Structure 1
Amino acid sequence: MIHDTTASMAEWRVKLRSTLGDDIVLSESDEMLPYCRDWHGDVTSNAVAVLRPRSTEQVAQAVKLCSELGLSIVPQGGNTGLVLGAVPDADANQVVLSLERMNRIRQIDADDFSAVVEAGCILSELKDAIAEKGMFFPLALGAQGTCRIGGNVSTNAGGINVLRYGMTRELIFGLEVVLPDGSIFDGLSTLRKDNRGIDLKQLFIGAEGTLGIITAVSVKLTPYPDQVATALLGLASLDDAIKLFRRARRDCCDLMSAFEFMPPLAFTLAKEAMPDLPIPIAADYPAYVLMEISGSGLVDIDDLIGRFLEAVMEEGIVLDGTIAASQTQARNLWLIREGMNEGQAKRGMHLRTDVSVKLSQLADFVAEAERAVAEAVPGSTCVSYGHVGDGNVHLNVLPAAEATLEQRIEQIYKAKGAINAVLDRYQGSISAEHGIGRLKRADFEARLSPVRRQLLTALKKAIDPDMMMNPGCQLKFSTNS
C-alpha cells in the first residue's frame, strides 16, 4: 500500500533509520539535494530519503524494507545520466538508493582477462587499476571521472570506443543483481562460453534499474594498447567524413578505435569552456574528424596512420590535419571534443539529442534535420557531432542567447519535434546510447509497437509485480497495466 501524507514520510524515515542505521540513511533536504538533481542542474526534485548501503547484503535489506513500507526505489550510480533516469520524480513515496559506497574492485585476473568490480566503482578508477596490471577496459566516456560502472551497465553506455569494442553490453561477462523482492541473483561468472539457456544478465543491461539493482559486474579485459595514434583532420563536408571512415575501416581494419566528427563551432565552444586549450589546426574547415587507431605487440601504429593519411590527403579527402606527437597533445585533442559539451552547457538550457540512423544515411539525415530545425526555430544554432562509425549523432540545438527561460523551453520542444519527425522518416532511434529515463519516456512510448509494449509489460510484471523499481523510467507502468 502506498501512503502519501507528511506523517507517513516522517514515519518512513524513522523506520528506515532504525532498521538500516543512521550511517546509511540521509533524510535532510540539503544532504539529499545532490542525489535529487540531474547532472546539468536542469531538474531538481526530492525524495523520502537517500540510502547509501556498503554491501550487497545491505542493498538486499534495504530493498526488502522498502517493499514492506510501500516505497519505490530509484537506483543511482554517479548520477551523470542525461535522460533523468536516476532522479526521483515523486518525493512522496520514492527513495534514492545510491551505490557510491560499493566501490571495491573485488578481483583482477590477468590470466583470465577479467575483473569483478562493485557497481559503485568510478569508471576511470577501474580503468587505471586495470592498466596497472597491463590490461585495458575499453569503455570510455566524457564523464568517466564521475560515472560509475553500475550505471554504465544499467544504461548500456556507449562512448568513443563503440566502433571497435562495442557497447557496454558487449563488455560484460556477468552481473550480481538485487531483485525487487530482495533476493540476490549471482551471475558473476567470467566464462566466455556459457550457453545454458536464456542469458539472464541481458535483462538488466540497459534496463535503467527498472528490474533490479546491479551491485557488481564481471567485465572483459583486453591487452593494454601501448601504441596509440590520434589525429585531428579538416575536411570539406560530412559526406567526406563518411567517405574517410569507409577508407579507414578498410585500411586500418579493427585497429581503429575512435572516429568522431565535429563542426567548426566545436572549437569556439571548447575555447569558451577552456580558454587556454590549444587549437592546433585552422578552425574554418566545414567538418572535422577526430580519429584514433591503437594496438599493441608487433603492430607499427605510427607507420600505419602515416601511410593512411598520406594516401587520403593525396586524394583530397582530407584537406588538413595534425597527428599528436605525445600523450599530452593527444589529450588536448580529445579535450576539444569534451570541451565542446561544456561550452554548450555554459550557453544555458538547450536541446541535447542522442539519435542514430544507418551509417549510409548519416550525412543526409544531419542536413535534413538541421534544415527542419532552422525552419521550426529561427535564430537557433545546431551543433551536430558524434560517432561516425555507429551512425550516432548528437544533434543539439542552442536557443538564441537572448531567449528567456520560457522561450528556451518552447524552442527546445519545437526543435525536438522537428528532429524526431525527420528521424522517423529515416527509421532511426531516439536513443543511441543515453537511454530513455524519464526525459524521453513520452517519445519512446509514442513509437512502441503493440507487440513490443506487450513484451516489456509482461517482463516488468514478472520480475517487479509491485512496480517498485524506478517507476516512471522507460515506461509508465502501473499495477493495473
Structure 2
Amino acid sequence: MTDATLQDPDFAQTAHALLGDRGFTSDPDLLDPWLTDWRGRYTGRACGLASPANTQELATLVKLCGKQGVAIVPQGGNSGMVGGATPGRSGNEIILSLRRMNAVRSFDPESKTITCEAGMVLQTLHETVETKGMRFPLTLGGKGSATVGGLVSTNAGGTQVLRHGTMRAQVLGLEAVLADGSVLDTLTPLKKDNRGFDLKQLLIGSEGTLGVVTAATLRLLPQIGTRIVVWAGLDSIQSARRLLLHCEERGKDALEGFEVIPSHSLDAVLDHLPAARAPLADRHAWYALIELVSDRANDTGLAHLTEGMLAEALDKGLLADATIAANETQAEAFWLLRDSISAAERAIGPAMQHDISVPVDRMADFVEQAIEIVERKFPRCEAIAFGHLGDGNVHFHVLAPPGADRASWEAQDAKEISAFVYDLVTQWGGSISAEHGIGQDKVAIFEQLGDPIALNVLHKVKQALDPDGLLNPGKLLKA
C-alpha cells in the first residue's frame, strides 16, 4: 500500500464515523506524542490514532483496516524497551490505544479473580483489588503507565516472578480481536479444559502480532498482611547466588523477591536522588534486596524466620552485613533504590541495555565472566548487571566511555556491543529477551540467533492467524 492510498479521505472518514470524535483522529499534533517510544530511539509515522470504546467497535475497526489494507500498531503505556509499540516509517499504519477500554467487568474475591479490560493501568488494578483485601501479584517500575493489555502482550515480568511467575502465570482467561475482526472469548477460567490448544497462551507474549487483547481474567491473592524487606551487603555475585539458595531453603513460600544490585548502580542512584540514603554504613561490592511476606497481619513468626535466616547467613559467611527495614516507609525507600537504577543510569550517559536470561544455576558465573569479557573487548566501556537473580534474568548494561556522543556511539560501537552480548548469551544457552520482548529492536538478531525450527513454527503461526500482516508489522518477526 502507498502513502497516497492512505491519504484517501474515505478511510479516515469511515473510521471517524465509526469511533466518533474521541475514538479517531488524524490530527498531526495529536498524533505526535504517540509516534516515539519513551526512550527516544524509535520514531515512526501513522495515518491515525484509534481509541475504540468497546470490543465491538474494535472488531469493526479491524475489519475496516483489513479491507483498506491499513496495518494496526497496538500501544499500551508506551513503556516498552524494544520499540514494540512504535509504528514504522511508512505511514501506512494506525496506532491503536485501548485506554478508553479500562472497565472492571467482574470482580469475585471469593474465587480470587478479576476480569478487566485491556486499557486498565496496572497501578489502578492494584488499587482496585486492594479495596477488597486482595492483591495482583505482579508489579514493575512502570506500573503507573503500563496497561493490562500491554502486560499480557509482552508477558511482563517484574520483581515478583521468583514466587509468582510472569504475566503468563497470572492470566486465567482472555478476550481478543483477531486479524479478521472475529472475537476470541476465553475469559471464563476453567481449571480443566482439554479442548485442544490453549489459545490464550498463544496470545500471551505475542506482542500484538496475532491478536489484540481486549480483556483478561486474572488471578488474585490475599493482600499481604506482613512484609519484611532486607538490604544485605555482599562481597561478590557468587555470594549473592549462595545467599539466594539459603533464603529459598529457609524462607520457602515466604520469599517474595530477591534482587541483586552492584555498588556502581547504588552509587548512581544516590547521585541521582539527592534525598536517598545508603541503607548500610559500609560500601560493598554487591547488594541483595530481599522481601518476605505473609498473608497474616502482624505475623511475628515471619520476623523470627527472617532474623534466623539472616543470622545463619552471617554465620556461614554468605553476607557481610544486613539491615531490616524498620517500617513501610523504609521498605519503600529500599525498593526505590532498586527501581531508580535505569533512570540514574540514563542521567550518567548513553548505555546499551540488555534484558537477558541464562539458566538460573549459571547466572552468577555468567555475570562474573561476561563483565570481564565485555570490558576487555570494549575498553573504556563499563559493564554492570542487576535485577532478578532468582529467575535467571538480569539486566546487563554496557555504559559508553565517559564523554561519548550518544548518537554516534549508539549508531556505531553500541550495535557491535549488543551483537557481541547476545551472541555470548546464546552460547551460554540463554535468551536474548527475558521479559521485555523482541519488538523491532531485536528482530534481526532474533532471526540470526534463534533456533531455525522454532522460528519456522512462529512464522507459520503468524501466517495462519494474520496472513496479510495487519497486526503490528515489523515486530517480533521479520515479514
Which residues in structure 2 correspond to 1:406-445 (within 5 Å)? 406-445=408-447
Q: Give per-residue Cα distances to partners, 1:133-192, cap 9 Å, x unaligned.
A: 011110111111110011000000010000000111011100000111111111111233
AA partner of residue 433 (structure 1): E
SS of residue matched to 1:252: helix
Query: Could you tell me how far apart the structure 2 residues matched to 1:349 and 1:37 are?
Result: 18
SS of residue matched to 1:34: helix
Query: Could you tell me how far apart the structure 2 residues matched to 1:62 and 1:203 are?
Result: 23
Query: Alpha-carbon deviation of 1:419?
Result: 1.4
Deviates more, 1:222-231 or 1:25-34: 25-34
Distance 1:283 1:344, change over 3 A: farther
Asked if structure 2 preserves the Cα contact closer than 8 Å seen for 1:365 and 1:422, the reply is no
Structure 2 residue aligned with 1:384: 385
Asked if structure 2 preserves the Cα contact closer than 8 Å seen for 1:377 and 1:414, the reply is no
The alignment yields a C-alpha RMSD, in angstroms, of 1.6
Structure 2 residue aligned with 1:322: 323
Query: Could you tell me how far apart the structure 2 residues matched to 1:383 and 1:284 are?
Result: 17
AA partner of residue 33 (structure 1): D
AA partner of residue 392 (structure 2): G
Structure 2 residue aligned with 1:463: 465
Query: Could you tell me how far apart the structure 2 residues matched to 1:395 and 1:234 are?
Result: 20
Which residues in structure 2 correspond to 1:210-359 (within 5 Å)? 210-282=209-281, 284-297=283-296, 300-359=301-360
- Unaligned runs of at least 5 residues, structure 2: none
Structure 2 residue aligned with 1:189: 188
Deviates more, 1:189-198 or 1:283-292: 189-198
Identity across matched positions, percent: 38
Query: Alpha-carbon deviation of 1:6?
Result: 7.1
AA partner of residue 472 (structure 1): G
Asked if structure 2 preserves the Cα contact closer than 8 Å seen for 1:40 and 1:345, the reply is no
Query: Could you tell me how far apart the structure 1 residues matched to 2:350 and 2:53 are?
Result: 36
Asked if structure 2 preserves the Cα contact closer than 8 Å seen for 1:3 and 1:70, the reply is no
Query: Alpha-carbon deviation of 1:55?
Result: 0.8
Deviates more, 1:378-387 or 1:136-145: 378-387
SS of residue matched to 2:438: coil
- After TM superposition, the score normalised by the length of structure 1 is 0.96
Structure 2 residue aligned with 1:47: 46
AA partner of residue 110 (structure 2): D
Query: Alpha-carbon deviation of 1:251?
Result: 0.5
Deviates more, 1:10-19 or 1:407-416: 10-19
Query: Alpha-carbon deviation of 1:464?
Result: 0.9
Query: Could you tell me how far apart the structure 2 residues matched to 1:109 and 1:314 are?
Result: 46
Query: Alpha-carbon deviation of 1:10?
Result: 4.9
Query: Alpha-carbon deviation of 1:227?
Result: 0.8
Q: Which residue of the other structure, out of 454, 457, 470, is the alignment partner of 2:456?
A: 454
Asked if structure 2 preserves the Cα contact closer than 8 Å seen for 1:372 and 1:419, the reply is no
Query: Could you tell me how far apart the structure 2 residues matched to 1:9 and 1:361 are?
Result: 56
Query: Alpha-carbon deviation of 1:418?
Result: 2.4
Q: Give per-residue Cα distances to partners, 1:380-431, cap 9 Å, x unaligned.
A: 1222101111110101111123111202432211221221232122111000
Query: Could you tell me how far apart the structure 2 residues matched to 1:9 and 1:304 are?
Result: 68
Query: Could you tell me how far apart the structure 2 residues matched to 1:464 and 1:27 are?
Result: 25
- Does residue 403 of the first structure (1) align with residue 390 of the second (2)? no
Q: Give per-residue Cα distances to partners, 1:81-118, cap 9 Å, x unaligned.
A: 10111110134211110111111122210111000010
Query: Could you tell me how far apart the structure 1 residues matched to 2:461 and 2:86 are?
Result: 23
- Does residue 141 of the first structure (1) align with residue 140 of the second (2)? yes
Structure 2 residue aligned with 1:198: 197
Asked if structure 2 preserves the Cα contact closer than 8 Å seen for 1:372 and 1:418, the reply is no
- Does residue 99 of the first structure (1) align with residue 101 of the second (2)? no
SS of residue matched to 1:5: helix
Query: Alpha-carbon deviation of 1:11?
Result: 4.8
Deviates more, 1:441-450 or 1:71-80: 441-450
- Does residue 79 of the first structure (1) align with residue 82 of the second (2)? no
Query: Could you tell me how far apart the structure 2 residues matched to 1:127 and 1:371 are?
Result: 41
Q: Give per-residue Cα distances to partners, 1:30-64, cap 9 Å, x unaligned.
A: 21122111122222222111111111111112111
AA partner of residue 336 (structure 1): L
AA partner of residue 248 (structure 2): R
Query: Alpha-carbon deviation of 1:271?
Result: 2.2
Structure 2 residue aligned with 1:372: 373
Asked if structure 2 preserves the Cα contact closer than 8 Å seen for 1:9 and 1:48, the reply is no
Distance 1:410 1:376, change over 3 A: farther
Query: Could you tell me how far apart the structure 1 residues matched to 2:178 and 2:118 are?
Result: 15
SS of residue matched to 1:325: coil
Query: Alpha-carbon deviation of 1:222?
Result: 1.1
- Unaligned runs of at least 5 residues, structure 1: none
Query: Could you tell me how far apart the structure 2 residues matched to 1:28 and 1:282 are?
Result: 55
Asked if structure 1 preserves the Cα contact closer than 8 Å seen for 2:419 and 2:445, the reply is no
- After TM superposition, the score normalised by the length of structure 2 is 0.96
AA partner of residue 384 (structure 2): V
Asked if structure 2 preserves the Cα contact closer than 8 Å seen for 1:269 and 1:339, the reply is no
Asked if structure 2 preserves the Cα contact closer than 8 Å seen for 1:9 and 1:92, the reply is no
